[in-house]
Amino acid sequence: MHIPDGFLDPFWIMVTYAATIAYAVVAWSKIKGRLTQEQIISVSVLAASIFVAQMLNWPLPGGTSLHFVGGALAGILFGPWLGFYIMALVLAVQTLVFHDGGITALGANIFNMAVVDVVIGYYLYRAATRAISETRKARLTGAFLGGWLGIVLAGLAAGIEIGLSPSFPYGVEVSVPVMVTWHAVLGVIEGLITALVVDYLYQRHSPIVEAAAKVTVHATA
């Protein structure tokens, strides 16, 4: 889902950079001075794990492929503000060190995967754990739904951005159905992985869960 250089027109480059910077400023104001060394180390370990997980591309029959994105996972564990910085770090390293995603599209890529995916994952998970109470079943359900819908809506956002960029007048009518349909199908795997990882981390009482539980910025979401 990493948009390369050349796909976005200048208007959408500016809009997506502006939206991402605005979110980054708000997110920074929410987390500034509230994190411990332990929590920072914990989020960097999660970021490194997501970075490597994204390297595992799964080619599928029919000529398409997917890889785990992890935005919902970051949001579920660390909330919408810190989750944003986890994914933004991953995406910035991918772009600046490995040219994975364009520099002109970095604003859009961060918006799609570090804002949309993270926020949707976080709120769906919270809704499920509130509705079913904080049980293992609720965590699995919420994480699956968050992982699935997060990636579908991130795909929708990318489809709108690239669909509205070319002078081709009906771009969105082409790009949005392709992106949403494929991600609705492939997103099931993202949802399953998100649910299994969240469940595993909670069942094992991982230090990542421990650090995340102490992050007080969730409450101000």
Partner 1 sequence: MAGLLGRYRGALLAVAVLLILSPVFGVVLAEKVGYHEPLDVAAEKLGLEEHPIVEWTPFSDYTVPGLPDTIGYIVAGAIGVAVILGIGLVAARLTKQ
Q: Which residues bind partner 1 (CB under 8 A)?
A: 1-7, 35-38, 40-49, 51-53, 55-61, 63-66, 89-90, 93-94, 96-100, 102-104, 155, 158-159, 162-163, 165-166, 168, 171, 174-175, 178-179, 182-183, 186, 204, 206-208
Minimum Å gap between C-beta 181 and partner 1 is 8
| Tokens 């919270």 -> residue | 126
**Closer by beta carbon to partner 1, 33 or else 133:** 33
Q: DSSP readout, 107-151?
A: HHHHIIIIIIHHHHHHHHHHHHHHHH-SSHHHHHHHHHHHHHHHH
Nearer to partner 1, 67 or 138 (CB): 67
CB of residue 132 to partner 1, shortest distance in Å: 28
The answer to whether 47 touches 139, Cβ cutoff 8 Å, is: no
Q: How far is the CB of 31 from partner 1 (least distance, A)?
A: 11
**Closest separation in Å from C-beta 51 to partner 1:** 5
Beta-carbon contacts of residue 61 (< 8 Å; ≥ 6 apart): none
Q: Are 165 and 9 in contact (CB under 8 A)?
A: yes
Whole-number Å distance between alpha carbons of 146 and 123: 8
Cβ closest to partner 1, residue 65 vs residue 135: 65
117 within 8 A of 163, measured Cβ to Cβ: no
Which is nearer to partner 1, 131 or 178 (by Cβ)? 178
Least gap, CB of 220 to partner 1 (angstroms): 19
